[in-house]
Every structure is written in structure tokens, then in C-alpha cells.
Amino acid sequence: MIRRFSLLATLLAGGCMAASAPPVPVAPPTASTPFTTRAAASIAPVPDQWWYLFDDPQLDKLVQASLAANADLRVAYANLDAARAAIRQADAARLPQPIIESSLGVDNPSGQPSAANVSASDYDVAATISWDIDLFGRLRSGALAARADADALAAALDGVRVAIVADTVLAYVDLCGATRNGRIARKIVATQERNLKGVQEQYRAGELSPLEVSQAASLLASSRATLPSFDAAREGARYRLATLQGLPPTDARIATIDCAALPRLTGAAPVGDGAALLLRRPDIREAERKLASATAGIGVARAELYPKINLGGALGLLSGGFAATASPLISWAFPNQAPARARIAQAQARERVALANWDGAVLRALREVETALATTQAEAQRNAALAKATDEAALYARRTASRARLGDVSPLLAIDAERTQATAALAEAQSDLLLSQSYVALFRALGGGWQAAPQPLDPARPIG
């Protein structure tokens, strides 16, 4: 008997030990240092609302509208509400569970030959209570896991906000870029139309051959062929802005959005350092909270090795008389604990998976920022070179046209100069767009934009 109590005491003591703490994630040394030095970036902290750096009030309104009405955000909020309800359920399971029961029965003695022909009724009412005292932390670990899951979904919600902000800014940049590039292309087409008319007049005057006319006509046709793609890109950007705001793609409010110039930063992009990145990126926080949830799951699985002790009682009127009962209920899967130990092994494996996912999230975040920095810096250098090339091409075209009018050079050379100028102008315009897009990709990688976001619209309300 003493041995039995000693064994039970040992199991109780082992079960009452605190659940194992989650492993401490260790970030690589480069995560706490500044990013690679780039002329296009500075070590200033990333602002919460980074799109304000573009100084475009219309863009600010579009971002706020997307954060308030985006459908993906509503899904994320609903998932978070469900997780918070699971926390309340887990907390409530640790409290005593009272239940009130009642019943009413009518006995019909007419079918019994020896009974009087008088109906009788029984009314019973009772209150029962059940309490899992959770000596071994099963419910406590479950509550910790529920909280960690809710925190992970809150981080996932912030990640959706980051994506929504970046997608909205990118769609606006694409709209501005397509509008600007289309305007440049139309200007080039108009210039080449005038040149073609001049060449045709010279041909009719016998000064030029059909070769020069065909060359000018071919250049004009090639330039006209670029116009439809700019128009399609502009409309596609408007459609994206509409759906990001929870509106139909062809909504009239979006059709009026236009912009005169590409959003550009006036200085170097503030990127902070690696330590601030790890604190700011929602996906890293989500991975850490999933790791905490997996660790709490080990506590839930380990508690299955020990007895479940439930205190129960009932009080009420039963069959016309007062009755009260109380009894503990102990259930224990023993000695076959192989299923419980298998569940522990599964939970420990899930913890290792979560830890590896955290490591991957950190490395992926650092890689994305460094890649975006390199891309932005390279495009900034390319943009500066293309701007110089455009100026030189314009000068070359003017000089060639002047000499062609004087008859010093062949008209074909002047037409080739026009082609060079058009190509350089469109290449610079496209580089301007790519540079703005690279800044958006950089801020997306930095993980800003989820702080102080507005509450989304009520899902029960219609969109639009």
C-alpha cells in the first residue's frame, strides 16, 4: 500500500511540474547590424505610414480606403475573432461547470389492472457541478496554446495589412507610370507624324527617295504600336485599386483617379537596421507565436500521462425528495501509455517544425530587404545613366535634323536619330517606373504599414 501511494505521489509531483518553456530562437548575428550600405538608403527608422514619404494626398486617401474596406482584411479579422473566442472557451473550461436539469413525467395507470385510475406526475429538478481541477496543466497548457494561436493570427492580420498597403501603392504607381509613359509615347508619335509629313513633302519635291519615306513610316508605326499597352496597363491598375477597396473593378469612383507624375522619394529611403526589422515584420512575430503554441501543445500532450481528476456534485429534488451527492472522478490511461507518449513525440516534432519555420522567416526577411536594397540601388544608378542618355539623344536628334535640313547629312541619319531619341525617352520613363516600384518592394520587405491601421468595415454591411 505504501508503495502504491509513493508511486502516485511521484506521478503527481512529475505532473505538477511546469510545462517546458519554448526554445529561445537565436537570430543570426547579421540580424542585429545595419544593412549593407547603399546610397539609395539611410539608417533612419522606417516610418509607420511610409507612403507619406511620397507626399501625395491622393495616394494617402487610397491607402486608407483599402485598409478600411479590403475583403482579405475582413477575412483576417474574422479568423482573429474566432481565435479570441477559442481563448474564452479555453479559460472557461478551467472553471467549475454548473448545469441545471429538470424533468416532468406523467404516469398513466389505466394500463395497469391493479392501479387506481388516477394519473400521477413526477417533477425533478437538480443542479450539478463538475470541475476539472487540472493538477497536471492540461487545461492551462491548452489556454496558453489558444492565446499563442490568437497572437499568431493577429500577426497574420498585420501581415495582410502590409500586403494591402504595398499593393495599393504599387497599383497607384503603375497607374501613374502607365499614364506618364503613354503621354510620352503620344508625344513621340506626334513628333514622328510631323517628320513623316515633312519627308513625304520632300519626296514629292523629288528631294528624297521612297527609302526615306518607308523608314519614317516604319518608325511611326512602331511608336503607335506601343500606345495600346500603356492604355491597358492604366486600366488594369485602376481595376486593382478598385478591388483592393472592395469595389467592383469598373466602379465610377475609381475611373476618375488620375495622376500627373510618378510618386518619387525626395531623399534616401529610411530602412533602419536588422534588429528593428525583426521586431517590425509581422511574419516573424507570427512564426514566434506559432512556436509558443507548439510548445504549449507539448504540455497538453504530456498531461495525458497523468490522471484526470474531476470533482462533481449534484443537489436537487429527485422523485419528490431532497438529495445531494458529491464524488471525485479519476480517470487514468495506465499502464498502457504508449498512445500518450506518441502524442508527446508528435507535439515535440511540431515544435521543431515551428522553430525551423521561425529561423526561415528571419532569414527570408533579411534576404528580402537586402535584395530590395540591391535592386533599388542598381535601378537608381541605371536611371541616372538613362537620364543622361536621353539628354544626349535629344541633342543628337536636334543636331542631325539641322544638318539634314542643310543637306550635310542623309535624311536617313536624321530618322535614325529620331528613333534613338524615342527609344531613350521611353527607356528612361520605364526606368522611372521601375525605380518607384523598387521602393515599394523595399518598404514591403521592411514590413511597415500595419501600425495604427483603421478597423475594417462591418462584414455585414454591403461593399461599395
In Å, what is the CA distance from 455 to each residue of 66, 246, 283, 451?
Answer: 11, 14, 20, 12
Take residue 221 and report the three cell numbers written for it: 508605326
Please say whether the beta carbons of 104 and 122 come within 8 A.
Answer: yes
**Spatial separation of the C-alpha atoms in residues 360 and 358, rounded to whole Å:** 5
Backbone angles phi, psi at 328, to 5 degrees: -85, 150
Cα 367 to chain centroid, rounded: 18
258/25 Cα distance (integer angstroms): 47
Q: Which of 296, 299, 309 is nearest to 340 (CA)?
A: 299
pTM of the shown model: 0.85
Cis status of the peptide bond prior to 335, with omega within 30 of 0 = yes
Question: Rounded CA gap, 209 and 410, in Å?
Answer: 11
User: What pLDDT score does 352 carry?
Assistant: 96
Residue 15: what pLDDT? 46
Could you tell me if 448 and 47 are in contact, meaning their C-beta atoms sit under 8 angstroms apart?
yes
pLDDT of residue 5: 35
Measured CA to CA, the distance from residue 150 to residue 83 in angstroms comes to 5
Integer angstrom CA distances of residue 235 from 64, 78, 163, 254, 428:
21, 32, 21, 10, 22
Q: Give the DSSP H/E element, type plus range, for residue 131.
A: strand 120-132
Tally of CB atoms within 10 A around 66: 24
**What Rg, from alpha-carbon coordinates, does the chain have?**
37
**What is the chain's pLDDT, residue by residue, as a tens digit (464 residues)?**
444 434 334 444 444 444 567 777 888 877 878 888 888 889 999 999 999 999 999 999 999 999 998 999 999 989 999 999 999 999 999 898 888 776 666 555 555 555 455 555 666 677 888 888 888 999 999 999 999 999 999 999 999 999 999 999 999 999 999 999 999 999 989 988 988 898 898 889 888 889 888 988 998 999 899 999 999 999 999 999 999 999 999 888 888 898 878 999 988 999 999 999 999 999 999 999 999 999 999 999 999 999 998 888 877 766 667 777 777 888 888 888 999 999 999 999 999 999 999 999 999 999 999 999 999 999 999 999 999 999 999 999 999 988 888 888 878 888 888 889 989 999 999 999 999 999 999 999 999 888 776 665 544 443 33
241 close to 62: Cβ distance less than 8 angstroms: yes
pLDDT value, residue 212: 85
Pairing of strands 97-107, 120-132: antiparallel
Contact 396, 421 (CB under 8 A): yes
Residues 263 and 173: beta-carbon distance below 8 Å: yes
What is the maximum span of the chain, computed from C-alpha positions, in angstroms? 136
Strands 120-132 and 308-318: antiparallel
- Name 216's Cβ contacts closer than 8 Å, sequence gap at least 6: 192, 195, 196, 199, 415
Q: Which of 316, 236, 273, 259 is nearest to 61 (CA)?
A: 259
Q: Name the residue with cell 455585414.
A: 460
Domains and CATH numbers, the chain: 45-95+137-306+339-446 (1.20.1600.10)
- Half-sphere exposure of residue 243, counting CA atoms within 13 Å on the CB side? 9
C-alpha distances out from residue 48 to 54, 280, 361, Å: 14, 10, 21
